[in-house]
Chain A
Amino acid sequence: MSLLEVRGLTRHYGGVRAVHRLSFDLAAGEVCALIGPNGAGKSTCFALLSGLERPDAGRVRFAGTDITGLPPQRILRLGLARTFQIPAVFSSLDALDNVRAALLARAGLDFALLPRRLRPLADEARALLARVGLEELADRPAATLAYGDRKRLELAMALAHRPRLLLLDEPTAGLALGERFALVDELLAIVRAHRLAVLFTEHDMDVVFRIADRVMVMDHGELIAIGTPAEIRAHPRVRAVYLRGGALDDAETSP
């Protein structure tokens, strides 16, 4: 049985078909990329899966439960966590408290009124920071962390919920080239260690082809191709849409 089952997922804004009849499956432990030009519907797709937006039509099943239209908290509790394209961290909290905020949400402690209830969470929070290589920066306010470190912090916060599926929205956007592969390799190690499934969007094709088991391509809200990286590279429609520059024939456009 697949971990994630998406059937006919649809969301329109006014006349724009942001996501249109999207259907796919994701197996446990699978690393799958979702690519497509800007405005193809990737972000909307993530918002629908994580419960930030409600679909107009279609169903989503996760680990055997129908999660269509559930609020984000419920979806998270079932083991589906996400990160954001621009790292979304709590700027006024230090790195440790960012992770602790995630942990106390998992433990249902958000209404606990005694400061000492936070203490037991510190060890686990430090362990998670260590996992993403931030243990040295635990006391730093999140607002002062470098961009890449904020991405790492966000990952630690997502991992705090012991998810089975991670949705990563452009995990390497805004990172320098060297840093990009470092983060991706760390990510892959964590994913393999926990047998996590990952669905990620990404513009950098090197990253996509380096880590994805499977690639899905969206355009104008629809899924136009799905396959192994090699299949996608050779797919004519993908070449036309995604690597659209290829369609510009010199002879045709030169004056």
Chain B
Amino acid sequence: MGFFLVQFLTGLASASALFLVAAGLTLVFGVTRIVNFAHGSLAMLGAYLAWALVGVLPAGPLGWWGGILVAALAVALFGLLVEVVVLRRVYGAPEIFQLATTFGLALLIEDLVRVLFGPADRLGPRPPGLAGTVILLGEPMPTYDLFLVFVGPAVLGLLWALARRTRFGVLVRAASEDREMAAALGVDERRLFSAVFALGAFLAGLGGALQLPRETLHLEMDLEVIVEVFLVTVLGGMGSIPGAFLAAVLIRELEAFGILLFPRITLVLAFLVMAVVLVVRPQGLLGETETGSGPDPRLLRPLRPAGSRARLATALLVGLLVLLPWLVPPYGLVLATDVMVFALYAASLHLLLGPAGLVSFGHAAYFGLGAYGAALAVDRLGLGTFPALALAVAAATLGALLFGAVARRLAGVYFAMLSLAFAAILWATAVQWDELTGGDDGILGVWPDPRLSPLVVWYELVLVLTVLALVLLRTLIFAPFGLALRAVRDHPVRAATLGLRPGALRVAVLAVAGALAGLAGGLHAFAKGSVFPDVLHVARSVEGLVAVLLGGLHGAGAGPVIGAAVFVLLEDWASRLPWWRTVVGGTILLVTVAMPEGITGGLARLAGRWRRRVREAEG
């Protein structure tokens, strides 16, 4: 009995810290409609700052609590700076750009923390006076955890009082409902947004800092926290603080007791519960129906098949690529293979982001399922290269169908956050289930059949498969299927009243995109000869996203290929730098803030200007 009580209370204690961070995210979303990907990074920053301050300040309760509080306030100030400098520029932008921007921020903050506090893991002391344990029904329980049990409800109460009893709270609630009307009544929404963002950052910093005595601090914390926070806010309902509390308790208790039943797959359990909830209530436990921001205005141009000159250029490029093995040294060929596999992956993601208008933030799920599918087929089943690739495609398709079944009714940010969580859970499963996946040691010795393994043969095979897949994608986009997808993206309600089936179309396009990403994953596994959990990592999802945005969302295939090429070459160069996150994060910010049309869009505009100038010169 005592054991269950302590288990239950431990669940509540960790729910408290999670709730604090999640409340900050949901509060910011409610007012600004921005899903802040860097929110976990703010929590991490708070935790590290608290660690440093507690170490510096004189020992004793004042030093400890002062350190926690100052850390949270410093994070609030930092959040304010970020809001004013960066986020203000993307408030009007489509949600995919907002998410990408805040992800870029997350990368920058990670490097910042690395520079300030070093890469080593850190563990903080317990606060004086709460360092011991108490015995509950014969079971020991850390006093600090018992204290944390009360923090969550206390903060919930304070936030409630802030919202109901202060003018600031009333204005925040008004602006969450109708920003424009609040402004027309004299509310300076810019300052209000800054204040709310600072408050959200404070809560993140406090939530991170309070975890100091309970958890080892490490540089992967940011992603770990954000995934859990996304689960909590989606489950609780975006914008609902009581919903976040309820969901945090639910998820933490599931973990606390789930670990007794299925020690390895606690996150899977949380995802399953969420799947059930979202199928019944797509807006989450206490959320309001979310409509999404509608189609991206930057996509509002009809797609036209490329002209004959572009076709000729493409054919020449493919011819050149066929001859590449005789033109470049072996390392160049390896890099070219990487570019093609990544281009295939990015193109499959582009199908979702562009023509289908589905903001997928977890595309690595399908890439990784493909990679593990191929690796397991070789390693466990002893299959040859082509059957293994077929299995890779099948595994990824199945994963996409499963996700589609849960997410087909979800709009905008809900879809994005759930896709991220889905991939993160597969990643956690790959790390934890080491009997099957080898855990962090991965699966080694995944080589293609001997007749395919010479570098040149493998390169040509990848080239053929990639070109075929890209032709298939382009065909689909211009087929009735693609037209129907674009129609559903532009106006789902209108499409449904015309007799198109938005839900079925979404599941189908997820399956296609998943299958091709799975193929890319399978090819990746054979190219590297091994598979590690990083094929499923959030970073992989975001790399695809950056390549697509870099190339340009508009169009039917050229964008992601160009974007992928630029990205792989950039990363190949930057990965040798200790600062690669800053380089990649900075690139993301540059693209989303200054170059929203991407490389193809920018080139098209330049070409248009050039043509006009020629015409003027002639006329």
Query: Which chain A residues have a beta carbon within 8 Å of chain B's beta carbons?
Result: 50-52, 71-73, 76-77, 81-82, 84, 88-94, 97-98, 100-102, 104-106, 109-115, 117-118, 141, 143, 157, 160-161
Residues 472 to 525 of chain B near chain A (Cβ within 8 Å): 475-476, 478-481, 483-484, 486-487, 489-491, 493-501, 504-505, 508
Sampled A-B contacts (13; CB under 8 Å): A52-B497, A71-B496, A77-B499, A88-B494, A89-B490, A90-B490, A92-B489, A93-B302, A104-B484, A106-B499, A110-B500, A111-B481, A143-B300
- Take A88-B491, A113-B479, A117-B479 as given contacts and tell me if A141 and B501 are in contact as well, using a CB distance cutoff of 8 Å: no
Determine whether the beta carbon of B481 is less than 8 Å from that of A94. no
A161 x B487 contact (CB < 8 A): no
Residue of B at shortest CB range from A109? B480
Q: Is B309 interfacial (CB 8 A cutoff)? A: no
**Contacting residues, chain B, for A115 (C-beta < 8 A):** 475, 478-480
Within 8 Å by CB of A110, from B299, B484, B491, B497, lies B484
What CA separation (Å) do A110 and B487 show in the bound complex? 10
> Counting CB contacts under 8 A, is B295 at the interface?
yes
Closest Cβ neighbor of A95 among chain B residues: B302
Residues of B within 8 A of A90 (CB): 486-487, 490-491, 494-495
Query: Which one of B476, B490, B499 contacts A113 once the chains associate, using CB atoms below 8 Å?
Result: B476
Which B residues touch A92, using CB under 8 A? 295, 299-303, 486, 489-490
Q: Are B483 and A93 in contact (CB under 8 A)?
A: yes
Question: In the complex, A153→B495 CA distance in Å?
Answer: 14
Question: In angstroms, how far is the closest chain B Cβ from the Cβ of A81?
Answer: 8
Interface residues of B in 261-311 (CB under 8 A from A): 295, 299-303
Residue pair A105, B498 in contact (C-beta under 8 Å): yes
Is there an interface contact between B480 and A102, defined as CB atoms closer than 8 Å? no
Q: How far is the CA of A156 from the CA of B212 in the complex (A)?
A: 64
**Interface size, B (range):** 20 to 34
Additional 16 contacts, C-beta under 8 A, given A114-B479, A161-B498? A51-B497, A52-B496, A72-B496, A73-B496, A88-B491, A92-B299, A97-B302, A101-B498, A104-B483, A105-B495, A105-B499, A106-B499, A115-B475, A115-B480, A141-B301, A161-B499
Q: Tell me the complex Cα distance, A112–B484, Å.
A: 10
Q: B-side binding surface: helix, strand, loop or mixed?
A: helix
User: Considering the chains assembled together, what is the distance between the CA atoms of A97 and B491 in angstroms?
Assistant: 14
Q: Are B497 and A112 in contact, with the CB atoms below 8 A? A: no
Interchain nearest-CB distance for B348 vs A (Å) = 16
Q: Which residues of B contact A161 (CB under 8 A)?
A: 498-499
Q: Could you say which of A50, A51, A115, A143 has the most chain B C-beta atoms within 10 Å of its C-beta?
A: A115
| Complex contacts, B490 vs chain A, CB 8 Å | 89-93
- Given the known interface contacts A82-B497, A110-B500, the answer about A91 and B487 at a Cβ–Cβ threshold of 8 Å is no
User: What residue of chain B has the Cβ atom nearest to residue A121's Cβ?
Assistant: B480
Shortest distance between the CB of A116 and any CB in chain B (Å):
9
A143 to B296, CA, bound (A): 12
Given contacts A110-B505, A113-B476, whether A101 and B495 have CB atoms under 8 Å apart is yes
Docked-complex contact B302 and A88, CB < 8 angstroms? no
A89-B491, A92-B486 are known contacts. Are A50 and B497 too (CB-CB below 8 A)?
yes
Q: Return B597 CB to nearest CB of chain A, in Å.
A: 14
Do B486 and A110 have beta carbons less than 8 Å apart? no
Contact B300 A117 (CB under 8 A): no
Beyond A91-B300, A93-B302, whether A113 also contacts B496 by CB under 8 A is no
Could you say which residues of chain B place their CB within 8 Å of the CB of A106?
499
Contact A112 B481, beta carbon cutoff 8 Å:
yes
- On whether the beta carbons of A89 and B494 are closer than 8 Å, the reply is yes
User: Given A76-B498, A91-B295, are A101 and B483 neighbors across the interface (CB < 8 Å)?
Assistant: yes
Interface centre among B486, B490, B499, B505, by most chain A C-beta atoms within 10 angstroms, is B499
User: How many whole Å from A161's CB to the nearest CB in chain B?
Assistant: 7
What's the nearest-Cβ distance from chain B to residue A88, in Å? 4
Chain B neighbourhood of A89, CB < 8 A: 490-491, 494
For A71, what are the chain B residues with a Cβ–Cβ distance below 8 Å? 496
* Cβ contact within 8 Å between A114 and B499: no
Bound: A98/B479 CA distance, A: 14
Shortest beta-carbon distance, A124 to chain B, in Å?
14
What residues on A are CB-neighbors of B500 within 8 Å? 73, 101, 105, 110
User: Which among A51, A82, A98 has the greatest number of chain B C-beta atoms within 10 A?
Assistant: A98
**Please, which residues of chain A bring their CB within 8 A of the CB of B487?**
90, 93, 98, 101
Q: Which residues of A contact B497 (CB under 8 A)?
A: 50-52, 72-73, 76, 81-82
Find A93's partner among B486, B501, B504 (CB 8 Å cutoff): B486
Q: For the complex, what is the distance from the CA of A82 to the CA of B499, rounded to whole Å? A: 11
Which residues from B are CB-within-8-Å of A72? 496-497, 499
The chain B residue sitting closest to A98, CB to CB, is: B487
CA distance A52 to B491 in the complex (A): 14
A93 vs B486: C-alpha distance in the bound complex, in angstroms?
A: 8
Q: Are A110 and B300 in contact (CB under 8 A)?
A: no
CA distance A230 to B497 in the complex (A): 34
Task: For B478, give the chain A residue with the smallest CB separation.
Answer: A115
- Smallest CB–CB gap between A28 and chain B, Å? 22
- Most chain A beta-carbon neighbours within 10 Å: one of B478, B487, B490: B487
- B219 CB → nearest A CB, Å: 41
Point out the residues of chain B lying under 8 angstroms from A94, CB to CB. 302
CA distance A44 to B303 in the complex (A): 35
Bound complex: CA A72 to CA B502 (Å):
12
| Shortest 10 CB-CB contacts between residues of A and residues of B | A105-B499, A88-B494, A90-B490, A110-B484, A112-B480, A101-B487, A115-B478, A94-B302, A109-B480, A92-B300
Q: How far is the CA of A77 from the CA of B476 in the complex (A)?
A: 26
State how many angstroms separate the Cβ of B375 from the closest Cβ of chain A: 30
